[in-house]
């Protein structure tokens, strides 16, 4: 049996660039034209094999808190990777990408894997952001970059495979969570007794 490694992935990017659609395509292989701004679904998981391990992606959505630039720092805590999304048909969304990267550097963990997704590549006839620009920027900050279409299921798997490859192998010394407690209803039973 392969070991399952849980990896928190946080999504960043302006409202309307297709963050939720990318996750929806990745996790459920489904695309909805009328997807409403993220409500209720803040968290999805998908497990994919990677070498000797299974990577279980725990993908966190912004829950709309990015809309008025009010993402909480706790959103970034413990993330193994961040997917930063822009819309290739909107130059603005590429400009703000840099702001998200800055915020990530400020609040995110030190060795976070960054992946840039230029979404809506099915609309390349009204493209505003050349792929070259994205590639140069990604290289400068050491990020993975790919153009995606959640609508036509282009490069979505590849995006997450790219992340998987960048995740450093598990350090055997850091196995376990050294006494960190997650609160769960079942822990009621209590392992120790006074």
Partner 1 sequence: MADNLPSEFDVVVIGTGLPESIIAAACSRSGQRVLHVDSRSYYGGNWASFSFSGLLSWLKEHQENSDIVNECPPWQEKILENEEAIALSRKDKTIQHVEVFCYARYEKYLFTINYVHDFLFTCLQKKPAVRIYMALVATSLLDMLKIDLVTKLLYSRGLLIDLLIKSNVSRYAEFKNITRILAFREGRVEQVPCSRADVFNSKQLTMVEKRMLMKFLTFCMEYEEHPDEYKAYEEITFYEYLKTQKLTPNLQYFVLHSIAMTSETASSTIDGLRATKNFLHCLGRYGNTPFLFPLYGQGELPQCFCRMCAVFGGIYCLRHLVQCLVVDKESGKCKAVIDQFGQRIISKHFLVEDSYFSENTCSHVQYRQISRAVLITDRSVLKTDSDQQISILTVPAEEPGAFAVRVIELCSSTMTCMKGTYLVHLTCTSSKTAREDLEPVVQKLFTPYTEKEIENEEVEKPRLLWALYFNMRDSSDVSRNSYNDLPSNVYVCSGPDCALGNDNAVKQAEALFQQICPNEDFCPPPPNPEDIILDGDSLQPEASESSAIPEANSETPRESANLRNPEEPSE
Contacting partner 1 (CB under 8 A), which of 34, 52, 69, 142?
A: 69
In the DSSP assignment, the letter for residue 189 is: G
Query: Taking a C-beta distance cutoff of 8 angstroms, is the pair 155, 147 a contact?
Result: yes
Positions in 94-123 near partner 1 (CB under 8 A) = none
Residue 13 CB-density burial (10 A; 0-12 exposed, 13-18 middle, 19+ buried): buried
Query: Of 16 and 169, which has the nearer Cβ to partner 1?
Result: 16
At 62, is the secondary structure helix, strand, or coil?
coil
Query: Taking a C-beta distance cutoff of 8 angstroms, is the pair 14, 93 a contact?
Result: yes
Positions in 10-39 near partner 1 (CB under 8 A) = 15, 27-28, 30, 38-39
- Could you tell me the smallest distance in angstroms from the CB atom of residue 82 to partner 1? 16
Query: Of 69 and 132, which has the nearer Cβ to partner 1?
Result: 69
Q: Which stretch binds partner 1 (CB under 8 A): 73-81, 130-138, 142-150, 154-162?
A: 73-81
Helix (H) or strand (E) holding 59: strand 53-60
Contacting partner 1 (CB under 8 A), which of 26, 75, 94, 100?
A: 75
130 binds partner 1 (CB under 8 A): no
> Quick one: CA dihedral 188, 190, 193, 194, positive or negative?
negative
Number of residues that bind partner 1 (CB under 8 A): 46
Rg of the chain, C-alpha, whole Å: 18
- Could you tell me the smallest distance in angstroms from the CB atom of residue 10 to partner 1? 12
Query: Of 71 and 145, which has the nearer Cβ to partner 1?
Result: 71
CA angle 5, 7, 12 (to 5 degrees): 165
CA distance linking residue 113 with residue 97, whole number of Å: 15
Contacting partner 1 (CB under 8 A), which of 3, 126, 140, 194?
A: 194
Interface residues toward partner 1, by CB under 8 A? 4, 6, 15, 27-28, 30, 38-47, 56, 58, 63-65, 67-70, 72-75, 77-78, 178-188, 190, 192-194
């Amino acid at each position: 049996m392969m070991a399952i490694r849980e990896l928190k992935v946080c999504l960043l990017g302006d409202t309307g660039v297709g963050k939720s659609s990318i996750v929806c395509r990745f996790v459920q292989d489904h695309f909805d034209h009328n997807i409403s701004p993220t409500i209720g679904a803040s968290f999805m998981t998908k497990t994919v094999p990677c070498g000797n391990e299974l990577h279980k992606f725990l993908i966190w959505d912004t829950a709309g808190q990015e809309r008025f630039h009010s993402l909480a720092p706790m959103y970034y805590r413990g993330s193994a990777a961040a997917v930063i999304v822009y819309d290739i048909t909107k130059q603005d969304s590429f400009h703000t990408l840099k702001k998200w990267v800055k915020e990530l550097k400020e609040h995110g963990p030190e060795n976070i894997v960054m992946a840039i997704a230029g979404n809506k590549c099915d609309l390349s006839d009204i493209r505003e952001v050349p792929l070259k620009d994205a590639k140069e920027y990604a290289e400068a900050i050491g990020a993975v970059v790919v153009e995606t279409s959640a609508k036509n299921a282009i490069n979505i798997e590849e995006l997450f495979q790219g992340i998987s490859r960048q995740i450093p192998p598990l350090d055997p010394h850091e196995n376990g969570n050294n006494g960190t407690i997650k609160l769960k209803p079942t822990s009621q039973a209590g392992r120790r007794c006074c």
